[in-house]
């Protein structure tokens, strides 16, 4: 299973299950602010390569548009600026409620677990998204 296959399968599961942000006021991208959430998504080498390829097509990409307390890819408008190639950790996080905790979904967990077990060496090299320097990042 390729990363793109995984993304497609995750999208299917999420659509069928009706998963969406459970925040009372709707999504406000607070989960994209590690200082609020207390966590940071990881990225694997294949994800890094896809993000870097995306960035190469978007010359002059501005990192930290929403500020240093936010994900480096969050725009001023509160939207992910690399949404099409966002990492698995971001794809599977749907706030359960106003606590920012992620909703659990057994099908999602099983699928991601199966993908990671098939690509264990890559998974073991996961880096935190904010710790990694992407192409063009100052």
| Angle (CA) 125 128 133, round 5° | 95
Tell me how far apart the alpha carbons of residues 60 and 115 are, in angstroms, rounded to a whole number: 33
DSSP 74: B
Q: What is the pLDDT of residue 47?
A: 93
For residue 71, the surrounding DSSP H or E stretch is: none
Distances (CA, A) of 40 to 25, 36, 50, 57, 121: 23, 10, 19, 25, 21
Q: What is the pLDDT of residue 136?
A: 92
Q: What is the pLDDT of residue 16?
A: 92
Give the global pTM.
Answer: 0.86
DSSP 42: E
Q: What is the pLDDT of residue 2?
A: 87
CB 126 within 8 Å of CB 42: yes
Tell me how far apart the alpha carbons of residues 68 and 60 are, in angstroms, rounded to a whole number: 18
pLDDT profile of the chain (138 residues), mean per 10: 90 90 87 78 92 94 93 94 94 86 90 87 82 91
CB 56 within 8 Å of CB 135: yes
Q: What is the pLDDT of residue 54?
A: 97
Q: What is the pLDDT of residue 62?
A: 95
């Amino acid at each position: 299973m390729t990363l793109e296959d995984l993304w497609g399968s995750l999208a299917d599961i999420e659509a069928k299950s009706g998963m969406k942000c459970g925040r009372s006021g709707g999504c406000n991208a607070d989960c994209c602010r590690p200082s609020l959430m207390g966590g940071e998504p990881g990225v694997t080498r294949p994800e890094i390569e896809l993000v870097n390829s995306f960035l190469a097509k978007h010359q002059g990409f501005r990192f930290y548009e929403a500020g240093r307390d936010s994900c480096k890819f969050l725009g001023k408008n509160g939207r992910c600026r690399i949404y099409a190639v966002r990492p698995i950790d971001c794809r599977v996080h749907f706030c359960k409620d106003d606590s920012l905790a992620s909703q659990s979904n057994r099908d999602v967990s099983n699928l991601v677990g199966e993908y990671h077990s098939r690509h264990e060496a890559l998974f073991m090299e996961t880096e935190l998204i904010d710790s990694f320097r992407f192409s063009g990042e100052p």
